[in-house]
Each structure stands twice: as structure tokens, then as C-alpha cells.
Structure 1
């Protein structure tokens, strides 16, 4: 009788463990993208491919990573457009403020991207879902 009690499995705990490797790869590819620019896209593709089949914790991180990419691209392109218009008008000296504003926007968006990526990585390493993956800011 004591043998039967020893062979029964323990009831599952309330916390579900998910494999963290691919979300970590996504965040690492995002951070590595600052050295070559190409791994941003690789991280985005990995996130899109795995989002639908992931558990709830990883799905929140994939959603967060995808939104981080697109929000950053949108802001960076807006800053780049201002910068390029300012560059063209700098010959006439009226484009210098646009150069400054565009460069500042691109710098702030780069910091925004890194902060969001590191925050997502911190939540992932703690084993938690990202609390607000649809948020516009952090």
C-alpha cells in the first residue's frame, strides 16, 4: 500500500513553466541588431512565427517584441524624414533645426527600443508574462 502512494505523481502547481529560449533569442537578436542592422528582422520573424503557438507567457513577450519593433521603426522613420529634409534645407541654413529635431528623435527612439527590449528580457527571465504587451510606452 505504501508503494502505491509513492508512485502517484504530485498534483501540478499553479505556475506553468514555458521554454524561454526563443523569446530570449528574439530579445538578443534585437539587441544585436545595433551592430549589424539585419538581426532586427530575424528577431521579428522569429517572434511572428512563434506567437500563435506559444503559451500565454511567451505569447505576451512575442506580442511585446513585435510592437516594440514596429513602434520603433515608425518613430525612427519619422525622425529620419525630418533629418533628411533638414539636411536638404541646411544648405539654406533653415534646415538646421530640423536636423537637430530629427537626430534627437532618432536617438530617443533608439533608447526607447533598448529600454523596452531590456524590460521584456527582465520579465522573461523572472518567468512572468509582460504585463501590458499592447502598451505604447514602457
Structure 2
């Protein structure tokens, strides 16, 4: 008999690297640096991934960049609020910016966990281009 019958398919072989990306994203909440490592792993492996893993890499990359965009918008709001807090008008802006920072973290964590759940089921992410969940 041939050993070809016992070789796992490409999605099965490749599942470890998308898990690493999601794990690095989750670990990033603790140290802040592994977000970038996860992004790099996703970019490097996306081109030769099968369709299931490619959807997860696309999803992970979009999750990172959308969170950076929202983070920069919240940071700008925070800085404007900080400048205006001298006359007490900026305090609501600071509070709003802090709420947005919290929402971004929650959104990032939920997307990462949902991606990991779909990956462990062996499914492609259903809507990798979506900006929601």
C-alpha cells in the first residue's frame, strides 16, 4: 500500500500556523508585542495557504488593521480631549475615547476567539472580509 493514503490533507497540515496567529493575538493582550508577530506570520503564510487557512489569515490581517485604524481614531479623540480638558470641555471626549479603547479591545478579542473556534472546527471563516464579527 502507498503512504499517500495516510498523508493528511493540506488544511490539516497547515492548521498549526493559523492557531499560532490567533494565540499570538491573544497573548498580545498581556505583552503588547505579539500582535505584530501574529500579523507577520499571517502575511508570510497567506499566499501558499489552502482556502480554509487563507480565509483565517485574511480575517486575522483585517482584524489587526481595522483595530489599528479605530485605535488611531480613538487616540486622536483622546488627545483633543486632553487639550480641551484645560477648560473642562474635553473631559467627555476623554471618557468617550476610553470607552472606544475598551470596545476595540473587546471587539479584537471576540473576533480572535471566533476565528479560533472556526479554525478548530476545520471551517473557513464565513466572512473574512467583514468588519463586524
What is the TM-score normalised by the length of structure 1?
0.87
- Where 2:41 maps in the other structure, the secondary structure is helix
The yes-or-no answer on 1:29 pairing with 2:19 is no
Give 5+ residue unaligned stretches, structure 2: 6-10
Q: 1:96 aligns with which of 91, 106, 128?
A: 91
Divergent runs of 4+, >2 A: 7-10, 16-19
Please identify which structure carries the higher helix content.
Answer: 2
Structure 1: gaps (5+ residues): 1-6, 11-15
Residue 8 of structure 2: aligned partner = none
* Equivalent pair of 2:14/2:49 in contact (CA under 8 Å): no
Shift of 1:46: 0.3
Q: What are the residue-to-residue correspondences of 1:8-87 with 2, within 5 Å? A: 17-87=12-82
Name 1:108's counterpart in structure 2: 103
Number of residue pairs matched by the alignment: 130
Normalised to the residue count of structure 2, the TM-score between the two structures is: 0.90
